[in-house]
Amino acid sequence: MTFLRELLAAILGVLISFMIMFFVFVAIGSVLSSRLMEDEKIVVKNNTVLVLKFEDLIKDYAPASDDPLAQILGLEENKLGLDQILNAIDNAKYDDNILGISIESLVLRAGMAQIQEIREKLYEFKESGKFITAFADVYEQKNLYLSSVADSVYVNPVGMIDFRGLAGEVLFFKDFQDKYGVRMEVVRHGKYKSAVEPFLDNKMSEANREQTEAFLQSIWSEMVDDMSESRAIEQKQLNFIADELLARSPKLAIENKMVNGEMYRDEYVKVLKKLSGIDEDGKINSVSIKNYISTGKGRIINNASDRIAVIYAQGDIMYGKGDENYIGPDLIIKALKKARKDKRIKAIVLRVNSPGGSALASDIIWREIEVTKKDKPVVVSMGNLAASGGYYISCNADKIIADPMTITGSIGVFGMIPNISKFTDRIGINAEQVGTNRRSLDYSLFEPMSDDFYNVTKEGIERVYKTFVSKVAEGRNMTFEEVDRIAQGRVWTGEQALENGLVDELGGLEDAIKSAAKMADIQDYRIRSYPDYKKEFKDMISGPMLSIKNDLILSEIGEENLKIYQQIKQFGEWKGIQTRLPFLIEIK
């Protein structure tokens, strides 16, 4: 046994040594590479075209890591911040070196509200008189929507254009539960609170179908309205084109004015040269949006002493610290306190992009906003999602501004608990419980849910729902009954939320910042972004490792099965009473 232990220890020591050597070599290579990159510092030359490809994930807030080891080892996720993109386009508008913009994106990893904000900023760019043109081998709907803002849109002669309207798909697991005896016990309030519906039935309820159709139609109408203006095509005609798939080929798309022409990339380069005033034999200067941002153009330079704090709350709401990918009370409260105590900060904008999550964590953040707004104005800017818990942490702000395509509302509550009693019965496992009191063991994974436990849990759900509705009523100056009528877990778009009194105005992040400045009575100011993220080394390692794990699972079971696996895994991770978006739906 001693020999085996020593052998295993030796093998482990060798493996650890190899890992350390590997990281040292990677670090040395990265340092050398970075030094070479410094020698080739990005310079924006005269007569340059800014290229928007958006290959990276677009997040509302994507600060670079302040850990040099993370940069050396390349452990940072490829991402771009929406704030950086908007600032870069704004800077390009006044940059004498930038002649125009070329949109060349294939797949946009962004939400509809984010895309609409970028699109609005591109409209502002056009006011400078500079050109915007677009080219792609293939256009999917998000990219077509963004690219339609261009003066001219071109497609590969053998390419495809996807323009068919929006659709949603929900997976249901009831039959799966019945077959295998593994189920989720559900307690909820709100007839539209259908995040748990896939575990209760094998088809969509009428209430869920009603709300899903409503918000999809609202988002689609917004898209069609924007495209109608930029492409000079009537909305009725655009819907006809979508219904009949009259943009499915380049020829049909040209006939129906969805694009301006078909050409190969080398021909498109000639178009760019002509727009830039360059001879055919000349070389066109271009810079990617990512490189343009890296030159410092991702921020607006301002030396004003007054500041507005923009605090980004993005991701699921979970009890705990929080990080760049999930909202935790600790990090948000720390940011609110810093902004509140800093005398240079005159107002606060809370940018919310969240489907919700823990009711307790949401309430803790709500309380800190309640304290903060006594000292300084607080304006909420809603991004792609500000639903359920995301609305909970928004409802008491002095002002709420939502994008028309924001998915919000979802004022409802549920609890969900796994149960495998039927499964264990089938395979011959019996669990026996012993306790000192009648309810010592309140719930067992291996026993059916008792009526007592259900009633106590239901009581908790009802209490949280009443608290949620009461806080919305107070924050929005409405009665409990008025809120309850539009609550029940019902999802609304930003435009619908405005009609229902859940938000004050429609607009993007910049509109919220301007509104906050007006409330603070300041004209000249600069932006201070929060929170400050500091990752531990183990956290930086876990990101890439998780990505590798998902890639391996994907290669084995395929994309559709991976989605099912991820959804079931996510349901299992929900702890406590939830104020969360009432569906897991993939919009296609």
The confidence score (pLDDT) of residue 36 equals: 44
Together in a domain, 118 and 149: yes
Is-contact 326 317, C-beta < 8 A?
Answer: yes
Together in a domain, 501 and 566: yes
Tell me if 570 is assigned to some domain. yes
Together in a domain, 321 and 284: no
- Residue with token string 């593994």: 182
Is-contact 109 57, C-beta < 8 A?
Answer: yes
- % helix / strand / coil in the chain, to the nearest 5? 45, 20, 35
Mode of pairing for the β-strands spanning 152-161 and 98-103: unpaired
Q: How many CB atoms lie within 10 A of CB 325?
A: 12
- Residue with token string 């569906």: 583
The domain boundary, picked from 255, 277, 297, lies at 297
Q: Of 169, 110, 158, 112, whose CA–CA distance to 136 is shortest?
A: 158
Tell me if 198 is assigned to some domain. no
Together in a domain, 284 and 348: no
pLDDT tens, the chain, 588 aa long:
555 555 556 566 556 655 655 555 555 555 445 544 444 578 888 889 999 999 899 999 988 755 545 544 455 568 899 999 999 999 999 999 999 999 999 888 899 999 999 999 999 999 999 999 999 999 999 999 999 999 999 999 999 999 999 988 787 888 888 888 888 777 877 666 666 788 788 888 888 888 889 989 999 999 999 999 999 999 999 999 999 999 999 999 999 999 999 999 999 999 999 999 988 888 889 999 999 999 999 988 888 999 999 999 999 999 999 888 899 999 999 999 999 999 999 999 999 999 999 999 999 999 999 999 999 999 999 999 999 999 999 999 999 999 999 999 999 888 878 888 888 888 888 888 888 887 777 788 888 888 888 888 888 889 999 999 999 999 999 999 999 999 988 999 999 999 999 999 999 999 999 999 999 999 999 999 999 876 555 555 555 555 555 555 555 555 555 555 555 555 555 556 777 665 545 555
Q: How far apart are CA 387 and CA 351, in angstroms?
A: 13
Q: How far apart are CA 472 and CA 454, in angstroms?
A: 27
Is-contact 354 578, C-beta < 8 A?
Answer: no
Tell me if 229 is assigned to some domain. no
Together in a domain, 336 and 462: yes
Q: How far is CA 301 from the centre of its chain?
A: 27
Together in a domain, 386 and 477: yes
- Residue with token string 């020999």: 3
Tell me if 134 is assigned to some domain. yes
Domain that holds residue 292: 48-164+245-297
Tell me if 79 is assigned to some domain. yes
Count of domains for the chain: 2
The confidence score (pLDDT) of residue 37 equals: 46
- Residue with token string 């053998």: 158
Together in a domain, 253 and 277: yes
Q: How many CB atoms lie within 10 A of CB 446?
A: 15
Together in a domain, 97 and 143: yes
What's the whole-model pTM score?
0.84
Tell me if 207 is assigned to some domain. no
Cβ-in-10-Å burial (0-12, 13-18, 19+) of 282 comes to exposed
Tell me if 431 is assigned to some domain. no
Together in a domain, 370 and 498: yes
DSSP alpha helix (H) spans, 232-328: 235-244, 250-255, 265-276, 289-292
Q: Which two tokens stand for residue 531?
A: 């929170």
The domain boundary, picked from 236, 270, 297, lies at 297
Together in a domain, 287 and 407: no
Is-contact 492 503, C-beta < 8 A?
Answer: no
Together in a domain, 56 and 143: yes
Q: How far apart are CA 92 and CA 77, in angstroms?
A: 26
Strands (E), 162-212: 168-169, 183-189
Q: How far apart are CA 115 and CA 15, in angstroms?
A: 46
Helix (H) or strand (E) holding 317: strand 316-317
Report the CATH number at residue 148. 3.90.226.10
Q: Which two tokens stand for residue 585?
A: 């739906």
Contacts of 167 by beta carbon, 8 Å cutoff, 6+ apart: 216, 587, 588
Q: Which two tokens stand for residue 255?
A: 């006939």
Is-contact 360 319, C-beta < 8 A?
Answer: yes
Together in a domain, 371 and 505: yes
Determine the straight-line distance between the first and last CA of the chain, rounded to whole angstroms: 59
The confidence score (pLDDT) of residue 422 equals: 86
Tell me if 519 is assigned to some domain. yes
Mode of pairing for the β-strands spanning 491-493 and 407-409: antiparallel
